[in-house]
Structure 1
Amino acid sequence: MPKPRGGPKAHFKRWLINGIAIAIPLVITLLVLIVVIDFILGVLSPIVQGIIYVLPNDPPTTVVQLVTLLSLITFFLVVGVVAEYTPGRYISRRVHATMETIPGISTVYESVRRASSMLLDDDTEQFKDVKLVEFPHQDAYMLAFLTADTPRVVEEYVDNGGMVTVMVPLGPNPTTNGFIMHMPAERVYDVDITVEEAVRSIATLGVASSELGEEKLE
């Protein structure tokens, strides 16, 4: 194992940076979880209080909250299982279609549904491949994700030969933040980098860029 270079000052700086890089994501994740759980418990509070009022032995509030949360998770699991099989898939499509036709509610419902799908699905599965594009100006290159085939109407209006559609992601959340661009295929370059490596590099604001391509070499 190579001996770390530099004096005490360099060691202290490196240790401090590493500690911050490790601790801050953990702390933020815990805070988000606490806020989400607190919000859910607040929404379920009337139900919890009603259960405590009905039950004769006045069980502890914490126990009732836990049982209520488990019941809610079980409910979601049952709905998911039903939606997975026929006619569950048909019912699921009909529910979505019905909600999306209600004026004033359709926009909110569709936005929440798409956001929920992105949060619950594997974010990297929505991207087909990693590409390299010149952006935002010539001789400046950024990683981009190949997302879908370019709509034919775009190709016809531009009349610039074959085109590809890519997402040029922005940190620190590359899976949901970026620019959707329709570009000539000749200006999109192949690069031997996995989607996971690209996401990790952009999410760390370039800190993990030195690891790009290492999975191919192993």
Structure 2
Amino acid sequence: MKKVKMTLKGYLVTGLLIWVPVAVTLWVLHLIVGTLDQTLNLLPREWRPDRLLGFPVPGLGVLLSLAILLVTGMLTANVLGQRLLRFWEALLSRTPVVKSIYSSVKQVSDTLLSDSGQAFRQALLVQFPHQGAWTVAFQTGRPSPGVAALMDGREYISVYVPTTPNPTSGYFIMVPIEDTRELDMSVDEALKYVISMGVVAPSEKAR
């Protein structure tokens, strides 16, 4: 009887291992598609699928979002588009409150999305949140001269410490470079390591 129970438990665990990744993937896709479908609200009410067809069509918002991005990129690729873009950015940069948010987000997005951007330059090990506790972090740059002048004279680097399993939130800290350890793994491998909470460990060596 005990053997039967263990076998059933094994079947249950195996089923979970198969369906949990599928369910989470579908949930994330549903969340993304549902969010992008909100762009359909930009259309006149008479042009929306639920009015034209009598029922909503999931996924059309994704196509509309891609079309908006494509058209925007094509328009800003010429001289006139560049002038309109500069005018728009100048307008936002003069708007109170908005300018602070927009300029910060733009700098981050330019770094993350541009071909030459190196937002995460190197996967590191740092001691966080206290001495003796090590975690995976990513080098993002170096402190500005004004900030570095207020430090103790040692060489510091700026790092981002992601949370797990959601690496889009985390902590920005500046640590002495001698207190870090470079990891012999790519940024993608390190992110996968963080997201999996250390379960999916790539073959790497701290150096």
The aligned runs of 1:129-140 (5 Å cut-off) are 129-140=122-133
Number of matched residues?
197
Structure 2 unaligned blocks of 5 or more: 1-5
Give distance in 1, aligned partners of 2:58 and 2:164: 37
| Contact kept in structure 1, 2:127 and 2:133, CA below 8 Å | yes
The equivalent residue for 1:213 is: 204
Shift of 1:60: 3.7
Code of the residue aligned with 2:184 in structure 1: it is: D
Moved more, 23-32 or 177-186: 23-32
* 4+ residue runs over 6 A deviation: 62-69, 114-122
- SS across alignment from 1:144: strand
The equivalent residue for 2:31 is: 32
Aligned-pair identity in percent equals: 25
Code of the residue aligned with 2:47 in structure 1: it is: V
The aligned runs of 1:1-218 (5 Å cut-off) are 8-9=7-8, 11-44=10-43, 46-48=45-47, 60=53, 73-86=66-79, 88-89=81-82, 91-107=84-100, 109-110=102-103, 125-174=118-167, 176-209=168-201, 211-213=202-204
TM-score normalised over the length of structure 2? 0.74
| Contact kept in structure 2, 1:133 and 1:142, CA below 8 Å | yes
Per-residue deviation, residues 131-152 of structure 1 (Å, max 9, x unmatched): 1111112221111101012211
Shift of 1:65: 10
Code of the residue aligned with 1:30 in structure 2: it is: L
| Contact kept in structure 2, 1:41 and 1:65, CA below 8 Å | no
Structure 1 unaligned blocks of 5 or more: 1-6, 53-58
